[in-house]
Amino acid sequence: METIFHEKQEGQLCAQHALNALLQGSYFTAVDLSMIANELDEEERKRMEEGGTDTQDYRDFMNSKSHNMDDSGFFSVQVIARALRGVWNLDMIPFNRRGDPVADCARCDPTTAKAFICNQQEHWFTIRKIGMQWFNLNSLFSGPELVSDTYLSLLLTQLQQEGYSIFVVAGVLPECQADQVLSTTRVTQVKKPSSKGTKTEAVRQVEEATVGVDGFTDEERQQYRRTIESSVRDREEEEKRQLELALSLSMDTSQTKDEDIPDLNNMTEEEMLDAALKMSLQN
């Protein structure tokens, strides 16, 4: 794990973090991406100018803010695509694009891809294969999160359900030390990285429900948050209980040695899912 390059979130520079996580090195800075954004802005200005500088569309464009970056440090998909294409000859292909051989293959079996870049609103992060294993390199995490081959497909499905846009990275990624080390060694992860920088589902729901609504006092917001947090915990506990039940039912303990029976109390949901699938295949 120590050889994997991972940048933790700084400000709103998740686009920079996602690119550097993908390339496994400090290849891009905010200044680099700002220069690309300015180039795109200038190209857009010239295209608008061709339609006439006395049009309302042109005046509106000139009076609007950049669509490729903002003051917080967010960069558009066009900036990221050009950064990868122009320097590394890498392409970002929409995961759901039908008829594209790369996207079609990735949807059929995500493990055949090399990396995915994910975006929702103003957050970008990378999921990449390093060596023989997959890792979620989200900059909001304290470190890389190991993702099993089995869970990768479920993770991508979950992200899509949550509204994320997913892009398959096509091309030859630069060589990196982590890839060399992990090509012959498989790592394990006892404890998942913390994600204190991420918003909990409860916080997100509170913000969405109360945005633009007058009359909410701080106390009412806190009470609403506690209610949703309790609901989220109950749902998560129920999902885990169902997963444990599925795993228990899939095990034929009469034919299984005691040492082969997994300890459900010390397994993550991802590990339980893997074990359930393996046991179902064996039975």
Q: Which residues are catalytic?
A: 14, 123, 138
**Please, are residues 30 and 79 in contact by the beta-carbon 8 Å criterion?**
no
Closest CA to 121 of 208, 26, 193, 21: 208
The tokens describing 50, both together, are 């061709």
Q: Coil, strand or helix: which one is 229?
A: helix
Closest to 109 (Cα-Cα) out of 123, 120, 95: 95
Question: How many CB atoms within 10 Å of residue 17?
Answer: 23
149 within 8 A of 131, measured Cβ to Cβ = no
Cβ count near 239 (within 10 Å):
11
- How many CA atoms are closer than 13 Å to the CA of 216, on its beta-carbon side? 16
230 burial type by CB count under 10 A (0-12 exposed, 13-18 middle, 19+ buried): exposed
What b/e sequence results for 185-202 when a residue is b if at least 16 CB atoms lie within 10 Å of its CB, and e otherwise? eebebeeebeeeeeeebb
- E strand residue ranges, the chain: 91-94, 115-120, 123-130, 133-136, 145-147, 165-170
Helix (H, G, I), strand (E, B) or coil at 72: coil
- Distance between alpha carbon 135 and the CA centroid of its chain, in Å? 10
With CA atoms as reference, report the closest residue to 136 among 1, 26, 274: 1
